[in-house]
A and B are shown apart, each in its own frame.
Chain A
Amino acid sequence: MTALIAENVSTQAPAPAPRPQLRRRRSTRYYLGRIPVALAIVVILVIEIYPLFWMFMNSLKSSQEFISAPSWWLPQEWKWENYASAWEQGNLATTVRNSLLATVPSLALIIVLGVAAGFALEIMVWKGRGTVLLAILAGIMVPGQMILLPLFTIYFNLHLTGTLWPLIITYVGHGLPLTIFMMATYFRAIPREIFEASTIDGASILRSFFSIGFPMVRNAVFTVALVQFFLIWNDLLFAITFANRRDLNTVQAGLLNFSGEYGQLDYGPLFAAICITVGGILALYLFLNQRIMQGLAAGAVKG
């Protein structure tokens, strides 16, 4: 059933919204009727934007201002130094680098392995593929806690604990089930005849995969990559378990430790650190919001 939903979501997303209301005449009554709608919009805007605005304003205040003035006042002088000290004390250069070093290789591996596996499970015809697909699907439900301790033991015994490898390996293995499931769904929409035709033209099945199958699901690959990017970037459980040393912290873990060390003393830099974290994602979101919304809805099994 989930397969059906994922398909629906992915295929219809760009369709224009239907307009069920019949066009009414724009009378005074019509505009009076729109007042509750306008109010609702304002309420939603306030709930969504004000906390972020409040956070930004507070990131520019001096520590003295937090004591002397209410928090909703605008900063008396804009203290941009907070950002410098957040970057410095919060170790942000290191945490961003670690997050990138863990996320980018994981994403590349997940995509390569996941697309190939999705192709083998959906386009190729062999006995037992249904069972294998089901076994992989079951992995989507398994909570991270269930694999945490054995993995920790393994990494400890392999002496991998002082590196980012445990994170990368875990992210790839944990991200694969959803990726394979989504890719299998996308491949299902492509008729097998296309690949049969290409083999008649003399291409081996591996060649057909690389030069026909992969390009045909390019868009889907991008969607899956976005979903996995956010799952990995926003992961906290594995990050604080396998990389809890300060020099290995990812953005999430680093922010948590920063708040524990400095958050009670110095509010300005803490707010600034939160702003930087949110701002980085916002920049990405401004460009890709439609793709992100569509993609995450398609990958919804993860909840």
Chain B
Amino acid sequence: MKSVLGDRRAIAILLGPALAVYTLVMVVPVFWSFGYTFVKGNPLEGFRFAGIDNFVRLFSDPDIGAALGFTIKYALIMTIGQVAVGYALSLFYIFVLRRFTSALIRTLVFFPVVVPTVAIALLYQKIFQSAPRDGIVNELLVNVGLGSVDWLGQSDTAFIVIIIMDLWRSVGFYAVLLFAGLLDIPDDIIESARIDGARHWSLFRHIILPLSLPILLAATIFSINGTIKVFDSVLALTGGGPGNSTTPLTMYMWRTAFAFSDYGYGSTIALLLTIMCFLVTLFIFRSARRDNTV
């Protein structure tokens, strides 16, 4: 029987095309891109060997420091926000709302997840606009007696707008993900804890929270892996500005390669980004494994 499921010709026919495309579009370019880190130039003007110049530049470039700083700050705050707000929403869906309302709110809060990011970013540009006319947020602030704020004109308020927008855009997803995890907690465990006298806070603290740790961890992995690669929403909302104060690594890489036509340095930044993604994932998997064995 093993021979039928091990039919080499069939395996080649089924797997071959996918593997070929994957190799040509993903594997080869990854190594090719690694090769670019040792050159300077672009396909139009040609390349010349640059040794480790790109790496030397990577460690002395102040813009890299700023971009890396923004990426890390954004990834940390967004991950905490997505998982915390998502978890709060999922608890709300499952323990507070009735079945119909819960489904309705869940569906509603999830909707922005599937809307094209540029559309949302442009909408938020208008919501937080200050010139030539105030947007809805500034109108509200003025009406309650506070002055209007130039939200996208200063780096720290621009950062706040990015966070608010991306939370609004993505939190429905994490709420549904965590909701699905909470559904897996067996009813009888919760029921017996109730009979033993566990109420609201103690029920949450001693039963529900520990049981939802695995899914919280999974959500954290997904979140970090996504937020480290943030690109489209920031590009469309602030364009990296004011100055380059809200430029993540991804956008700095894109600018370097296409605005300044420097493929070598662009690839070096991309490599840094890739290594960060791998390290974060490895780190989280490691700590997850340790948790499970204890």
Chain A positions within 8 Å of B, measured between CB atoms, are 1-2, 5, 8-9, 12-13, 15-22, 37, 40-41, 44-45, 47-49, 51, 54-55, 58, 66-67, 70-72, 109, 113-114, 116-117, 119-121, 123-126, 132, 135-136, 139, 141-154, 156-157, 169-170, 172-174, 176-177, 180, 192, 195-196, 199, 204-206, 209, 230, 233-237, 241, 251-253, 255-256, 259, 263, 267, 270-271, 274, 277-278, 281-282, 284-285, 289-290, 292-293, 296-297, 300-303
Identify A124's interface contact among B5, B125, B136, CB under 8 A. B5
A149 touches B190 (CB 8 A): no
Q: Does B14 contact A (CB under 8 A)?
A: yes
* Complex interface: chain A residues within 8 A of B247 (CB): none
Q: In this complex, what residue of A is CB-closest to B17?
A: A113
* Complex interface: chain A residues within 8 A of B109 (CB): 44, 48
* Complex interface: chain A residues within 8 A of B271 (CB): 146
B176 touches A234 (CB 8 A): no
B21 touches A172 (CB 8 A): yes
* Complex interface: chain B residues within 8 A of A174 (CB): 25-26
Contact with A along B87-131 (1 / 0, CB 8 A): 000001111110101100111111111111111001111110000
Question: What's the minimum C-beta distance from B78 to chain A, rounded to whole angstroms?
Answer: 11
Question: What's the minimum C-beta distance from A195 to chain B, rounded to whole angstroms?
Answer: 7
* Complex interface: chain B residues within 8 A of A255 (CB): 116, 118-119, 122
Chain B positions within 8 Å of A, measured between CB atoms, are 1-2, 4-8, 10-11, 13-15, 17-19, 21-22, 24-30, 32-33, 36, 43, 92-97, 99, 101-102, 105-119, 122-127, 132-136, 139, 168, 173, 176-177, 180-181, 183-184, 187, 190-191, 194, 214-215, 218-219, 221-229, 231-232, 235-236, 250, 253-254, 257-258, 263, 266-267, 269-271, 273-274, 277-278, 281, 285, 288
In the bound assembly, the distance between CA atoms of A71 and B124 in angstroms comes to 14
Question: What's the minimum C-beta distance from B161 to chain A, rounded to whole angstroms?
Answer: 13
B222 touches A301 (CB 8 A): yes
A297 touches B236 (CB 8 A): no
A282 touches B111 (CB 8 A): yes
Known: A22-B194, A142-B274, A252-B117. A302 touches B5 (CB 8 A): no
* Complex interface: chain A residues within 8 A of B226 (CB): 302-303
B274 touches A206 (CB 8 A): no
In the bound assembly, the distance between CA atoms of A173 and B20 in angstroms comes to 9
B183 touches A277 (CB 8 A): no
Q: In this complex, what residue of B is CB-closest to A270?
A: B122
A177 touches B26 (CB 8 A): yes
Identify B250's interface contact among A22, A143, A284, CB under 8 A. A143
A51 touches B184 (CB 8 A): no
Question: Would you mind naming 17 contact pairs between A and B with Cβ atoms under 8 Å apart?
Answer: A70-B139, A71-B126, A120-B10, A147-B29, A148-B257, A153-B32, A169-B25, A172-B21, A176-B26, A199-B1, A236-B236, A256-B236, A259-B236, A263-B122, A281-B115, A300-B219, A303-B224
